[in-house]
Amino acid sequence: MSPSTRRLLFDLPGRYRIRVQDRLDPSWSGRLGDMAITVRQATGQEPVTTLTGEVTDQAALLGMLNTLYDMGFPLLKVERLGSPPSAAVPVPKGETS
């Protein structure tokens, strides 16, 4: 494993940025894992909502994405921005970091 490669596991927290089409009211933040919610709309285009924050694990991420789907928000992009410092994964014996 190279120094720039990190092992990703399903049960670790991560910071994510999720973009959906349309306008999501910031009051939904608590229902969506306390993500920061911002809405931008370029002239003549549909509004885009961006949710940014820490997600406890990939099951929570899936729940958030399902909630957005159930609310009728088309998904535009999901980005993993990195891990919180407390989420570092130890390298198993026999592997080099």
Summarised one tens digit per residue, pLDDT across range 14-33 is 999 999 999 999 999 999 99
- For residue 7, give every residue at least 6 positions away whose Cβ sits within 8 Å of its Cβ, in sequence order, or none: 1, 89, 91
Q: What is the reported pLDDT for 90?
A: 52
Write down the mean pLDDT value for the chain. Answer: 85
How many alpha carbons fall within 13 Å on the CB side of residue 77?
9
What fold does the segment set 14-81 form as a domain?
Alpha-Beta Plaits (3.30.70)
